[in-house]
Structure 1
Amino acid sequence: MDRPYIICHMVTSLDGKVTGEFLKKSEYSKFIEDYYRIHREYGADGFLCGRVTMEGSFPQLTVPYNDYDGPPIAREDYIAEKAAFYAVAIDPKGKLWWSDRAISDPDEGYDGAHIIEVLTESVPNAFLMHLRNKGVSYLFAGKTELNLPLAVQKLKKLFGIQTLLLEGGGIANGSFLQEELIDEISLVVVPAAECNEDAIPLFKTGKYGAKTTFAKSFHLKEAKRLNDNGLWLIYSKN
């Protein structure tokens, strides 16, 4: 396979939502802990999130650096370093102004992950210079529209990523699903229904790549009970 083995690993409500009030309730925190434990136990080479999820989960600079007046920067992939573990950010327009080259997080399953930005060639020069100054790696996958198959091929070829955890949000998950780039689904199911109509589903119609909608089939590989009332469901591609 010319790309990583991709596992979509998420926490969901009973009705398939990945955002909502249920995630904030203390009685469900044990399931969130299970999710992080499973993330660590997978031992993947990296995890990938969409721009909104990354922005909400990890710190960014408050003021973007916009005063670059140097020559145009070539739209060539930039490998700042090779690392044991990576945080891959889908950021087509260049909106994640990272404050460091790696993730800083209390959970050892995320802390220290070297950041790779997945961009289109439409990002501004100032953004590329900022990433270089911070020691953040980046790769290009498309001129103005993101080419996800190309992106994941480069993740394997340039960084040696063999196994990748896809961890949201719903749009990123939906985009990978539509492009048939998900090999396995790992769901920690919380015993709660999220009735908020604004809550995002596990797979939302993707804005990257293919726009067509059609059913995808998966095979239930394993089901485990968690903390009396929760479930860990593992599905593989048929």
Structure 2
Amino acid sequence: MQITCHMISSVDGRQVASRWTRAADPAADMHKAYAEAAAKLGADGWIVGRKTMAEFAGDIVEVREPVEGHPTSFVSTFFGNREDRPLAIVFDTHGTLHYKSNTLPTGEHIVAILGSHVTRAYQKELEQAGVSYIVRTPGKPEEETLDALKHIEKDFGVKHLLLEGGGHTNGTFLHMKLVDSMSVIVYPGLDGRAGIPSIVEFEDNAVENPMDGLTLELTDCEKLEGGLVWLRYAVNR
């Protein structure tokens, strides 16, 4: 399975679009550019972290307190009402996201990747909403992530996914050397504030150089309407 990290950022690498300065060219349309580039990449769906999914649609509610009940005693994949739609895969380890529908407004079917400690009551909630889920095999975080990706590929027939943030999720996947290529659209604007999330971040301070061993090889560079630039890299691991 191929994974492409597909992101849009300001010139200074920040990802909070509401903070960026205005582009000089009024034709600059970040949403259009990002969506059209994603379509050209031709993936079976995309992966995001919990925070990014919570911001995606108004009917997705995040409740920090987990659903009470006994932890599930088995590892499983539940197939909801996909109907051959693209996948929207979210890593929600603690089961804090709650859904009214199994489909996003943009048409993708939701697949939740859950930790092994998530309760059976929460699983039943997802089943009632028609949301697919994968319960990860217990183990170290990296082992659980690899196991989940194997199930995504095998159980859902996935060949190519876009990794779309947030920065911490991107950083984790890159650190684990799971990303095959990067697709970055640069918007002609600036943020400038220190501490604002960037498109790649890694939280573990015990790891001095989390991207050590990776090299980026430029494969394409395209100027888009409005002064945006689309950069594509192969990630050599």
- Smaller-chain TM-score range? 0.7 to 0.9
> Which residue of 177, 180, 183 maps to 1:180?
177
**Contact kept in structure 2, 1:59 and 1:98, CA below 8 Å:** no
In structure 2, how many angstroms separate the alpha carbons of the residues matched to 1:67 and 1:152? 25
Matches within 5 A, 1:159-238: 159-205=156-202, 213-215=210-212, 216-238=214-236
Identical columns (%): 26
**Contact kept in structure 2, 1:85 and 1:114, CA below 8 Å:** yes
**Contact kept in structure 1, 2:85 and 2:107, CA below 8 Å:** no
How many residues are aligned here?
227
Moved more, 52-61 or 19-28: 19-28
Aligned partner of residue 97 in structure 1, secondary structure: strand
**Contact kept in structure 1, 2:29 and 2:226, CA below 8 Å:** no
> Which residue of 112, 121, 125 maps to 1:130?
125
**Contact kept in structure 1, 2:181 and 2:235, CA below 8 Å:** yes
Equivalent position of 1:90 in the other structure: 91
In structure 1, how many angstroms separate the alpha carbons of the residues matched to 2:99 and 2:80? 14
Residue 60 (structure 1) shift: 3.6
The 1:179/1:92 distance shift into structure 2, 3 A limit, reads: same
**Contact kept in structure 1, 2:66 and 2:95, CA below 8 Å:** no
Residue 39 (structure 1) shift: 1.3
**Contact kept in structure 2, 1:178 and 1:206, CA below 8 Å:** no
The 1:74/1:133 distance shift into structure 2, 3 A limit, reads: farther
Aligned partner of residue 38 in structure 2, secondary structure: helix
Aligned partner of residue 29 in structure 2, secondary structure: helix
CA-based RMSD: 2.8
Moved more, 44-53 or 28-37: 28-37
Unpaired segments of 5 or more residues in structure 2? none
> What are the Cα deviations for residues 82-137 of structure 1, in whole angstroms up to 9, with x where unaligned?
52311101111111111111112xxxxxx221111011111122211100111111
**Contact kept in structure 2, 1:8 and 1:185, CA below 8 Å:** yes
Is 1:115 aligned to 2:110, yes or no?
yes
TM-score between the two structures when normalised by the length of structure 1: 0.84
Moved more, 151-160 or 70-79: 70-79
Aligned partner of residue 89 in structure 1, secondary structure: strand
In structure 2, how many angstroms separate the alpha carbons of the residues matched to 1:196 and 1:20? 13
- Which residue identity is paired with 1:148? T
Matches within 5 A, 1:6-25: 6-22=3-19, 25=22
In structure 2, how many angstroms separate the alpha carbons of the residues matched to 1:73 and 1:60? 30
Residue 142 (structure 1) shift: 3.9
The 1:15/1:97 distance shift into structure 2, 3 A limit, reads: same
Unpaired segments of 5 or more residues in structure 1? 105-110
> What are the Cα deviations for residues 62-82 of structure 1, in whole angstroms up to 9, with x where unaligned?
586988779956442212245
Moved more, 10-19 or 159-168: 10-19
- Which residue identity is paired with 1:99? K
> What are the Cα deviations for residues 32-77 of structure 1, in whole angstroms up to 9, with x where unaligned?
3101111122221011110000001123455869887799564422
**Contact kept in structure 1, 2:186 and 2:228, CA below 8 Å:** yes
Aligned partner of residue 229 in structure 2, secondary structure: strand
Aligned partner of residue 90 in structure 2, secondary structure: strand
In structure 2, how many angstroms separate the alpha carbons of the residues matched to 1:67 and 1:149? 26
